[in-house]
Amino acid sequence: MEAERKIIHVDMDSFFAAIEQRENPDLLGKPMAVGGDGRRGVLCTASYEAREYGCRSAMPGFKALELCPQLIIVPVRFDLYKEISLKIRAIFGRFTELIEPLSLDEAYLDVSHWKSDPASIAREIRAQIYEETKLTASAGISSNKLIAKIASDWQKPNGQHQVKSSEIDAFMRDLPVAKLWGVGKKMQEKLTDGGIRTCGDMQQLDKITMAQRYGKWGLELYDLCRGVDHREVQISRIRKSISKETTFSEDVNRVQDLFIDLEKMLEAVRETQEQHYHERTIKATVVKLKFTDFTQTTIERATELPSIDLVRELLLEGWARGGQKSVRLLGVGLKLADPELNTQSNLDLGMD
């Protein structure tokens, strides 16, 4: 019988804001945020004091200041945050080689090789982080990544929560479906429209019904709502792009005849991005064409918001570039930002 895994999800508490408060004690206890260019920028993160007013990451600065006029917004110091993140990652390395960073401030750790209780290991990791950085971290502990990540949010800030295998059924029953990995805003609305608000609600549906309503993703949700997650901690699994392409049985002569396939492919890659990589920023949209003479071209546009109008524009540009030849292959893709650069990219896009 395979031994039960011991997974820890460590999540730093208001990481960028906490660093700035550590660097400048005058900010301690005050509502503050890290962001770009005051009112015109976007918040990267907000201190817990600011969150009490409703301020949060990705919120425009002007909106945050409306909610909290006394909010202090300090500029981003990404190099400093990355330097401290590397120190924290080095602490993780004392306990396991199986580390899967999700961003600068969170990671999965597989400590299955330890005989010790994983909760005690998590406490020691958090203690060493505080001792060496004066920053607090929260942790979730369970037998899989799904539950560990959800649990890390249970006792924030500066706490931890363990969900043992015998407790998973009860833990999942009343859990909002929005907490499930891969359930974004659109999917949540879809589920709510279907009368599903909690994992317990979802557990009432059989596999066939889930597949009929939500396709392949419905089959994954069938397991996830029961706390089943077989994903392993991956040491280096940073996917750079999502794409879908098709080779036609007969070359397509008219570019407008590609529109329907183009829209379906965009929908497919967007669905994959929202289900599996919703925390990653989209850097660019890409359209690929291979022509009847086997020459090919790739057209891309930097954007966070891919749309059917955009991919049609790229298709027409690529078709013209290729001499308006017949098309034998069509592809659509999204380039994803490095997870460690997500916050910086969002800030850059938010500033004039």
Per-residue pLDDT of the chain (352 residues; tens, 9 = 90+): 567 899 999 999 999 999 999 999 999 999 999 987 656 677 889 999 999 999 988 788 889 999 999 999 999 898 899 999 999 999 999 999 999 998 889 999 999 999 999 999 999 999 999 999 999 999 999 999 999 999 999 999 999 999 999 999 999 999 999 999 878 777 888 899 889 999 999 999 999 999 998 888 889 899 999 999 999 998 865 678 888 888 888 889 999 999 999 999 999 898 888 776 776 788 899 999 999 887 889 999 988 888 999 999 999 999 999 899 999 999 999 998 876 544 444 433 333 3
106 catalytic residue (yes or no): yes
CATH number at residue 219: 1.10.150.20
193 & 296 share domain? no
CA–CA gap between residue 182 and residue 222 (Å, rounded): 13
CB 27 within 8 A of CB 48: no
The pLDDT assigned to 340 comes to 52
Residues 143 and 203 in one domain: no
Number of H helices, E strands in the chain: 13, 12
Residues 281 and 303 in one domain: yes
Residues 215, 97: one domain?
A: no
At residue 58, the pLDDT reads: 78
The model carries a pTM of: 0.69
What SS3 state is found at 255?
Answer: helix
Handedness of CA 50, 51, 52, 54 (dihedral sign): positive
* Residue 235 maps to a domain: no
Can you tell me whether residue 113 is helix, strand or coil?
coil
Q: Rounded to the nearest 5 degrees, what angle is found at the Cα of 95, between the Cα atoms of 91 and 98?
A: 100
Domain count, the chain: 3
Residues 129 and 151 in one domain: yes
Instruction: Check if the beta carbon of residue 111 is closer than 8 Å to that of residue 96.
Output: yes
d(CA 29, CA 104): 24
156 and 197 inside one domain? no
Helical segments of 204-298, H only = 207-224, 259-276
Q: Which residues span the domain enclosing 109? A: 1-163
Which of 137, 163, 189 is the last residue before a domain boundary? Answer: 163
Return the pLDDT at 37.
61
What are the backbone angles phi and psi of residue 283, rounded to the nearest 5°? -90, -40
219 and 249 belong to one structural domain: no
Q: Determine the pLDDT at residue 274.
A: 77
Sign of the CA dihedral 207, 212, 213, 218? positive
Q: Given this model, what pLDDT does residue 347 score?
A: 37
Is residue 253 included in any domain, yes or no?
yes
What per-residue confidence (pLDDT) applies to 184?
77
Last residue of a domain, one of 136, 163, 190: 163
* pLDDT on residue 238: 61
Query: Does some domain include residue 64?
Result: yes
In a domain, 106, yes or no: yes
Judge if 124 and 190 occupy the same domain.
no
Q: Are residues 338 and 256 in the same domain?
A: yes
CATH number of the domain to which 299 belongs: 3.30.1490.100
Last residue of a domain, one of 127, 148, 163: 163
300: nearest Cα among 259, 338, 333, 336:
333
208, part of any domain: yes
Q: Which of 20, 49, 100, 106 is catalytic?
A: 106
pLDDT at res. 280: 76
Is residue 59 located within the same domain as residue 151?
Answer: yes
E strand or H helix at 241: strand 241-252
95 belongs to a structural domain: yes
CATH number at residue 7: 3.30.70.270
In whole angstroms, give the CA distance from residue 162 to residue 117: 10
Same domain, 134 and 3: yes
40, 115: one domain: yes
195: which residues sit within 8 A by CB, 6+ positions away? 201
In a domain, 236, yes or no: no
Torsions phi, psi of 193, nearest 5? -60, -30
User: What are the beta bridge partners of residue 48?
Assistant: none
SS3 107: strand
In a domain, 79, yes or no: yes
